[in-house]
Amino acid sequence: MADIVTSGLRKIYPAPKQRRGLPGSGGPLGTIAPGARSASAQPGRDIVALNGLDLQVSDGEFFGLLGPNGAGKTTTIGILTTRVRPSGGEARVGGIDVMLDPVRVKQRIGVVPQRPNPDRSLTVRENMLFHAAYFGIPANVAQRRSSELLDMLGIGDRGEAKVNHLSGGQQQRLMIARALVHEPEILFLDEPTVGLDPQARLALWEILRSLHAEGRTIVMTTHYMDEADKLCERIGIVDQGKLLVCDTPNALKARAPGGTMIELTLDGPTAGLEPGTLRLPGVIKAESRGIELVVYAERAGEMIPGLIRLAEEAGRTVRDIRLTEPSLETLFVSLTGRKLD
């Protein structure tokens, strides 16, 4: 049974206004719309953040939305958590229409934002109690739940500390504890490990696995390949507001182009090198992308001398070589023509 459903979901942000005083502007001071890609945030052009997104997340599933910055991930989470109004389409969470009954949706969900946003004038425990009050939780119940959650997340000894005295990883744990204080059925996390050091990131992974094991539905956005691969039962890859593919990590990796991806960065344009590259034995696919030549080959190590020689014969110098085994990354590059980061 689907816990979350979107159908034809669209979100268009109004065109950013020109800044007063800039050459050729003449318009009032304006700001770029949230979630917009800088490349498309041009005066006079509306920004399409979501373009007909169809999505289903099952009850109890750990689901990941994978995509680069500006792909529409945060906008999707914003709509599903009732913070952003869609421009079209439908979205239901736990069978409830997010537009028609946002209050009931909020009662069923917990939200961990991309950047920790606690009240920094309060202590850790006060942040928990203040949030619990929003949901009408009695003070004695809120006290008990807060203590249990802070202990579970390893920051029980920091209850009386001010937020600014916490590390980045501890602040993110506080955000998860706060999101769980009203015992939601569904947990949304928007890029939860951005900015964390490797140790804090791995610790947070274990916390999320434990929460999922309790039966919660978890929806997480990320642009980290390994994070989506290791945590999520299914992954939807989004780019430019569209869902490109959706499946289990193993099934998606099986769809990646055969062979290792070889990326050669040259000192100039690679246009015109594809025909010669494709004639090399063992090459499956070759594409020119600016100063990068992307080649898929079965025996990558054996291919490199020939590729370097081909570039030099064209008057180019190889500046960098990168090898990537068949993975979510190679699938994404093959689908979009660009890297995830």
**Which residue did the predictor score with more confidence, 145 or 45?**
145
Check pLDDT > 80 for residue 164.
yes
**Exposure of 255 in the CB half-sphere (CA atoms within 13 A):** 16
pLDDT at 42: 56
Rounded CA gap, 128 and 180, in Å? 10
Residue 4: CA atoms inside 13 Å, Cβ hemisphere, count? 27
The Cα angle at residue 243 between residues 61 and 67, in degrees rounded to 5: 80
Give the integer Cα–Cα distance in Å for 92 and 72. 18
pLDDT of residue 300: 83
Q: Which residues contact 99 (CB under 8 A, 6 or more apart)?
A: 85, 86, 90, 91
Q: Is the pLDDT of residue 25 over 60?
A: no
CA dihedral sign of residues 15, 19, 21, 23 = negative
pLDDT tens, residue by residue, 294-325: 998 888 888 899 999 999 999 999 999 999 88
Q: CA–CA separation, 304 vs 287, rounded Å?
A: 16
pLDDT tens digits, one per residue of 221-244: 998 888 999 999 999 999 999 999
CB 3 within 8 A of CB 58: yes
Mean pLDDT across 180-207: 90
Q: Is there a contact between 269 and 291 (Cβ–Cβ < 8 Å)?
A: yes
pLDDT at res. 99: 95
188 versus 201: the higher-pLDDT residue is: 188
Kindly indicate the confidence band of residue 28, based on its pLDDT and cuts at 50, 70 and 90.
Answer: very low
What integer is the mean pLDDT of 321-339? 81
Which pLDDT score, from 0 to 100, does residue 44 have?
64
Average pLDDT, the chain: 87
% of the chain exceeding 70 in pLDDT: 91
> Taking residues 266-288, what's their average pLDDT?
91
Query: Which amino acid makes up residue 122?
Result: L
**Nearest 5°: CA angle at 139, between 136 and 143?**
120
CB neighbour list of residue 257: distance below 8 Å, 6 or more residues apart = 284, 285, 296, 326, 330, 331, 334
Instruction: Quickly state the pLDDT bin for 269 (edges 50, 70, 90).
Output: very high
26 has a pLDDT exceeding 70: no
CA distance 51 to 32: 19
Residue 225: predicted pLDDT: 86
CA–centroid distance for 75 within its chain:
10
Query: How high is the pLDDT of residue 31?
Result: 39
pLDDT-derived band at 116 (thresholds 50, 70, 90) equals confident
Q: What is the pLDDT of residue 223?
A: 85
Confidence band of 285 (pLDDT split at 50, 70, 90): confident
Compute the distance between CA of residue 109 and CA of residue 187 in angstroms, rounded to an integer: 6
Give tens-digit pLDDT for 121-153. Answer: 999 999 999 999 999 999 999 999 999 999 999
